[in-house]
Structure 1
Amino acid sequence: MVVAIACAGEAKLRRLEGLGVRDSKLLTPARRERLRRVLEQLLDYFAVRVVQPEEVDRAVQGLSFGNLNELELSLMAELIQQALERVSVEKVYVDSPDPLPERFGRRLSQRVGTRVEVVAESHADSKYVIVSAASIIAKTERDRIIRELKSTYGDFGSGYPSDPKTREFVKRWIEREGSLPPIVRKSWSTLERL
């Protein structure tokens, strides 16, 4: 899992819109990469946090954070705190992993304090250009990691549970090795069906 933060002032937000920055899922990989290079130069601040499969598993199993939403809450708070140390931030928009975004926003606001207003919404990456920018940074980082992993493990598809190629890769690996590939989350619900 990859989580990112992006910060920009009002004038730069308008430039991002003009550049075609939007939800990373709506862009081709090549377009995301081109936009990432522009974002790295244009944004006032950005940061990325890569979460390894074991850390996600511990959160899902309730061993480190209680659940996956708690892990994401902690990561977002960490990234916001780091941003607050480096740039002026008045308002933060987040794509809520919680089905009740208001609850997630309240909890995140409590974590980061009253220095910044928190707006949490479902699908914020398709509503706010700054969240779109963060989604592009996160997605390109994930894409880079996937390319690197493929050089070691071969072509396993996208790595998403909905990808038949990914599911087939995991199934073949289990049949051949008798265990899960080290790059797969053990808490991945798709494994139960495999």
Structure 2
Amino acid sequence: MLVAGVDEAGRGPVIGPMIVAGVLVDDSSICILEQAGVTDSKRLTPQRRVKLFQCVLEVAKSVVFLEVSPSEIDEAVRSGVGLNELEACKMAEVVDRLQPDVAYLDATDPHPSKFEGRVRRYLACSTRLIAEHNADEKYVIVGAASIVAKVIRDVKVEELRAYGDVGSGYPHDPRTINFLRCWVREKGCLPPFTRQTWKTARRILDEVLQKKLV
């Protein structure tokens, strides 16, 4: 039986893309991932994630990831579609590309069954879906997807360092906040790789521009 896990990385950051990744394996290979130590990416060091990323690539029949840009996220928020709906659409696309018999999803909606229904509406194939909270901790195959998503997201953020110290890209990171403030002071606008609908981004833009007017 072909089994897939699907997860995302970068749902909450103010800087950089969200990555939605899927990993497809034969169910007999899941034990190999488990023995290697594959688990929720948040429990792993960056170095360990990279090592396990290579393991996942070797074991998997297929690995798929989608890069969801800040502008696409902003459009979903502004139009009222929302991030949950956008993520459901992207997860369905990943599942359709993998064509598994069953797919385990890390549910972002407070009600997993509701999220599962959202994904199903976008799905073209007849794959059985199982959506649960903390699926990346419960299921090794979703942990594998979380590792792929996180490693790819880290690479994308690393590329942004060409513009300066962007930090982790998360709103709670002082380096990220400082980077945004400096950029707005110098250029009078937010960077193009910022999620401009995020409260953090709007607040920084308003604060800096107001100070310039005083």
Same fold, TM exceeding 0.5? yes
Match for 1:169 among 160, 175, 179?
179
> Deviation string for 1:72-112 (max 9, x for gaps)?
1110111111111xxxx221111112111110112222432
Match for 1:139 among 141, 145, 150?
150
Per the TM alignment, residue 178 of structure 1 is displaced from its structure 2 partner at its CA by 0.9
* Count of aligned pairs between the two proteins: 187
Match for 1:95 among 106, 118, 133?
106
Q: CA RMSD in A?
A: 1.4
The answer to whether the Cα contact below 8 Å between 1:109 and 1:117 also exists between their aligned partners in 2 is no
Per the TM alignment, residue 114 of structure 1 is displaced from its structure 2 partner at its CA by 6.8
The answer to whether the Cα contact below 8 Å between 1:24 and 1:132 also exists between their aligned partners in 2 is yes
* Separation of aligned partners in 2, 1:157 and 1:113: 38
Instruction: Within 5 Å, give how 1:1-194 maps onto structure 2.
Output: 1-62=18-79, 66-84=81-99, 89-112=100-123, 115-150=126-161, 152-194=162-204
Secondary structure (helix, strand or coil) at the match of 1:61 reads: helix
Alpha carbons of 1:114 and 1:36: their partners in 2 closer, same or farther (altered >3 Å)?
closer
The answer to whether the Cα contact below 8 Å between 1:102 and 1:120 also exists between their aligned partners in 2 is yes
Structure 1 runs of 4+ with >6 Å offset: none
> Deviation string for 1:55-84 (max 9, x for gaps)?
010011126xx1111111110111111111
* Separation of aligned partners in 2, 1:39 and 1:70: 28
The percentage of aligned residue pairs carrying the same residue is 41
> Deviation string for 1:169-194 (max 9, x for gaps)?
11121122110011111011212432
